[in-house]
Each structure stands twice: as structure tokens, then as C-alpha cells.
Amino acid sequence: MTYLSNTQGYCPVEAPLLREKIESLLGMRPVIVRVSTREIHLYTPIPLGRRMEETLWDRVAPPSTIEEPACPQSGIPRVLCRYKALLRLERYWEAHEVGEELWRLGFPAGQLMAVAAGVLARAQEGDSRAVETILDSILPVVAGGQAGVGIPLDPARLREEAYKTLACSSSSVPLLIIDPPLLSYRRK
């Protein structure tokens, strides 16, 4: 992963064109590009060397200095803290992976959290078709199996936030209301 500062004001809808430009500069495929209001996230099949990174910094954007905040708790509360921090930083793919980690740990809403963050990650890739597929096909199935977990998720709001992300609008309303002390992660 490489993080670049979004100093040029790129929008997620421009991610496919930016991906083509970066693939051309690096001479490497595939490169996954996600664009947030603060950063450009690059995922490459092999780590970039210093020379390739400098080429990107010179021609696309400078390196990002945004760091993920530390979460002092331990166990599931620590993972939940990290999930929320990643959402605030608009690092939705990483939040998706943390949701999957919660799911593997037996946290009932982990799968739902992974899907919600995954929708926003696809929006950051400028892929409205994938966003619609996940919202229309996958989310209802996952949400149906997550009944009673205590985490409200509004699919209409998630759709709205995904399209705000695509259009470079600011997202101000949290999608998930997570209060770790009130959540139970015991299987029934």
C-alpha cells in the first residue's frame, strides 16, 4: 500500500483515469486506486521501490503524512476503535478488513461492518456498478443474517453516503453507531 496526499483535489469518480495514469507511470498492472478527500490509496501486486515511489510523488502527489490514531484498549474494543478510526480517515478498505477480523473473532456484526465499509471502498474506486451490486444483492442477505446485533445500519443512508463519496461530497453522518460497552459479542 502506498498513501499519497490528495493535494490535487481528485474525486473518486476520477479513480479509473488516475489508475490508468499510474499504471502507465509504473509500468505495472494491476494497480488499485482509491481516492478519499485526503488521500490517494494505491495497492500494487508488489511493493514499490523507492524510485517508483519518487516518480509517483513527482508526477501525481506527495506522500501522505496522515497516521492512524492509536487505540489503547485490547481485544474486541480495540478492534472496534480501529474500525471507527479508519472510517473517520476514509480508509474504507482497511475498515472493511477490520470488519472481517471482527467477524472472524465471532463478533455478530462484523460481517455487516465489513460489507458497509466495502461499499464505501468501491465508491472510492469510482465503481458505481459494484456499489449497486453490493447494496442490492449482498447487503440485504448479510443484514438479514445480522438481526438483533444492536448495530443500526440504514441501507438508504449507506447508499446516499456511497454516492456522496463518488461525487466528492463531504460525509458528515456516521453510518454505524458503535458504542462498544453496549454491544454483546457472545454467540447465542
pLDDT in tens, 1-34: 899 999 988 989 889 999 999 999 888 888 899 9
Percent of the residues in the chain that have a pLDDT greater than 70, as a whole number = 84
pLDDT in tens, 65-94: 999 888 888 888 888 899 999 999 999 999
Contact residues for 148 (Cβ-Cβ < 8 A; gap 6+): none
Q: Look at residue 188 and tell me whether its pLDDT is greater than 50.
A: no
**What pLDDT, on the 0 to 100 scale, is given for residue 159?**
87
- Are the CB atoms for 76 and 102 separated by under 8 Å? yes
- Are the CB atoms for 123 and 15 separated by under 8 Å? no
> pTM of the predicted model, to two decimals?
0.81
Q: Look at residue 170 and tell me whether its pLDDT is greater than 60.
A: no
Give me the helices (H) in 60-109, please. 75-88, 92-104
Q: Look at residue 131 and tell me whether its pLDDT is greater than 50.
A: yes
- Are the CB atoms for 122 and 134 separated by under 8 Å? yes
- Are the CB atoms for 16 and 32 separated by under 8 Å? no
